[in-house]
Structure 1
């Protein structure tokens, strides 16, 4: 079956009903909470099921399960109207569950300033999840650690797990994958969390291939070429290190300094980890937003998956970026798959600038409020 199909379960994961053929849509992007919805007549048998407390949904496309999650919202109209079931994927749990200073201790014994995790980004991600899954008592586990990704360090003090961990994975193009464990009756009994490295779609997409549609682009100079990290200690006793990205300074012919406050790092910790993270954030950016067109050589689920990399050459931009997908289905137009690369262009979209500023501010406020 080519279209979207939805399987509705109760809060325990027991099967209730599956539906298809309705107006529906889904949005799938790497390390972003997936979302989908379908609209049914209010007198359809599925209507009372989607409004049950804790009702869940499994979302399928082209015969393959895409994600599962809670039916978060069910707006409707009556008496002879419609009801819409809006599903948010279980990845949202990583924003709803928090990393504690001492995950193994009760709330009255959170005596450490921070819980610090260091190592490859996959290792940091899985260790933080493992400790807090155990604390929560949820049937979630992590797959064996393969140590993929760059060396990173992060700290938790009642922060949402995703706030600290997802940016580390994004920097290494690692995509979170949730695999579900079902019993012999099809009832969900557990979730396994892993990451996957992206595949690269063969070839280069150009206007001549007919795959890219209209596009916007932007180019930004580096905001940082060298960084000082201030470590533990006070006054004259404080430790400082400096890391200089000499190749970047030579390429751009300029110096831009930055500072990172690393006073909360553990004694003896490698402060260069913080420096290299800051330099990565301050790198030059080439941004491209484009809507792609599905063709026989570019088909979701066959030649690429969400989070895979694609090379695009549309003058004057040559870049490699991850792929997202939007799926819509209507009675009039059938199924439409719209692949996309790039993020919202902050230079062109006022709302995007506002949303990103609020997100950064919110993370900063959360950090301040936990000290």
Structure 2
């Protein structure tokens, strides 16, 4: 069936009922909390189960459960009105749960300033999650790490897990997956596949588009480690290829005084230079075809080669799905970040989220 199916559970994930053929929509992007919405009459017999405290919903499409999560809100009007059911995926828990300085110690015994994780981004992600899942006593586990991703370092001091970990995965194009089993939820990451071919206007797949290119904001950086004054340790990381390509030298500084004694400070330099690289941004909606179909030829987070105008780049794939009696099911694949969109409301929301993240970080020092 080429449409949404919504499976309703109680707060313990016990099955209640399922619904289909509704006016509905869902939105899925790599490492972003997935959401879905569907409409019911205000006297629909499913509403008591849906509006119960802790009610949950599995969102299915093309025979596959895409995600599962809580019924976040149910605004409605009546009589003879409709209720909007808003579903929020369980990935949200990575923002709800924190990474503590000493995950296996009680709150009054957080005897170190930070919990520092160093290693491949997949390993850092899974180690931090596993330690705090154990602390919380929740039925969440992580799959064994395969050591994928670049070498990174991050530190926790009561920060939301996702604040520190999701950017590390995004930099390596690793996408978080959640698997539901009889004993709980298993967290893993998947590497992207690359969709065959190149998407150009001639293929008929890209629709209207916008693009942007920006120069690097740093080509070399000094990392300041432990110590003060003349005793402070410094290292410098230089990307000579970047300087040669752009004919430019741009210096920066990274404060890494919270690292452990003897830590490899070049890791912080490489992370910073990766974040300050030149950017090629493109934002476009794509047209689904038999050769370019969600769940068949590509999955969430896979990469597509796009060549539009002067831009030639690999971009991660997202998907938005709408369903109505008038138009049927419409699948809209997307590439590019939402912040590249002309939607000023979305850009403002992203900027507010960044400010909130910065405030959380400063408030925990």
Give the TM-score range, shorter chain: over 0.9
Conserved? CA contact 2:220–2:238, under 8 Å: yes
Alignment match, 1:242:
236
Alpha-carbon distance between aligned partners in 1 of 2:90 and 2:334, rounded to the nearest angstrom = 22
> What is the TM-score when the length of structure 1 is the normalising length?
0.97
Alpha-carbon distance between aligned partners in 2 of 1:209 and 1:354, rounded to the nearest angstrom = 33
Unaligned runs of 5+ in 2: none
Conserved? CA contact 2:210–2:341, under 8 Å: no
Conserved? CA contact 1:7–1:59, under 8 Å: yes
Q: CA offsets per residue over residues 22-56 of structure 1, 9 Å max, x none? A: 10000011000000011011111111211100000
Q: Please state whether the residue corresponding to 2:338 is helix, strand or coil.
A: coil
Q: Of residues 195, 206, 209 in structure 2, which corresponds to 1:215?
A: 209
Aligned length: 365
Alignment match, 1:37:
37
Alignment match, 2:51:
51
Q: Please state whether the residue corresponding to 2:84 is helix, strand or coil.
A: strand
Q: CA deviation at 1:348?
A: 4.4
Alpha-carbon distance between aligned partners in 2 of 1:73 and 1:363, rounded to the nearest angstrom = 24
1:344 aligns with 2:338: yes
Q: CA offsets per residue over residues 179-226 of structure 1, 9 Å max, x none? A: 0003xxxxxx30000000000000101111110011000000000000
Q: Please state whether the residue corresponding to 1:116 is helix, strand or coil.
A: strand
Q: Which structure 2 residues correspond to residues 101-250 of structure 1 after superposition, within 5 A?
A: 101-182=101-182, 189-250=183-244
> What is the TM-score when the length of structure 2 is the normalising length?
0.98
Q: CA deviation at 1:352?
A: 4.1
Closer, same or farther in 2 for the Cα pair 1:116/1:325, shift >3 Å? same
Alpha-carbon distance between aligned partners in 2 of 1:348 and 1:8, rounded to the nearest angstrom = 36
Alpha-carbon distance between aligned partners in 2 of 1:84 and 1:264, rounded to the nearest angstrom = 48
Q: CA deviation at 1:346?
A: 4.8
Closer, same or farther in 2 for the Cα pair 1:351/1:80, shift >3 Å? closer
Alignment match, 2:94:
94
Q: Which structure 2 residues correspond to residues 62-101 of structure 1 after superposition, within 5 A?
A: 62-101=62-101
Q: Of residues 341, 357, 365 in structure 2, which corresponds to 1:363?
A: 357
Conserved? CA contact 2:339–2:350, under 8 Å: no
Alignment match, 1:186:
none
Q: CA deviation at 1:79?
A: 1.9
Unaligned runs of 5+ in 1: 183-188
1:319 aligns with 2:313: yes
Q: CA deviation at 1:357?
A: 2.8
Q: Please state whether the residue corresponding to 1:255 is helix, strand or coil.
A: coil
Conserved? CA contact 1:215–1:288, under 8 Å: yes
Conserved? CA contact 1:346–1:352, under 8 Å: no
Greater shift in the superposed pair: 342-351 or 276-285: 342-351
Q: Please state whether the residue corresponding to 1:216 is helix, strand or coil.
A: strand
Q: Please state whether the residue corresponding to 1:336 is helix, strand or coil.
A: strand
Q: CA deviation at 1:355?
A: 2.8
1:283 aligns with 2:274: no
